[in-house]
Amino acid sequence: MPLPLHTTTITVTRLLDQDTGFPDIEPEWQPVASGVNAHFTLRQTGTLILAEEYRSQAASIMICDPCGLQSGDRVQDELTGADWQVMWAIDRTYPGMEYTRSECVKRTGEMGIMLDG
């Protein structure tokens, strides 16, 4: 049964082959699923320091229809265009409902260490 409450749909991409054999060629992210029902709930925000540059970072709990979501996947919110990195994902099953719960971090360029939140 699909999620009873969803506010968007997502596209999931995955890095299928990390070693291109060429240091200046970026590995390709391949689509895994699209049009997946999902709902994001903002969890926390924080400040990052990257090479003396400050960036803000938001984390969110996302629930979605089962689609094989894995840690390390990228998710794009098809409604807003926001890009998220999946930190962890777990499939849940309850009577009459199956879904995936995950924590995602909004991608704003480089990844770093959250200092406060």
Minimum mean pLDDT range among 83-87, 96-100, 110-114: 110-114
Question: Could you write out the DSSP letters of every residue in 11-56?
Answer: EEEEE-----S-TTSPPPEEEEEEEEEEEEEEEEEEEEEETTEEEE
Q: What is the CATH number of domain 8-110?
A: 2.40.10
pLDDT digits (tens, 9 = 90+) for 22-59: 666 777 889 999 999 999 987 655 555 555 455 556 78
Every domain of the chain and the residues it spans = 8-110
CB-based contacts of 100, cutoff 8 Å, min separation 6: 63, 64, 65, 66, 67, 69, 89, 90, 91, 92
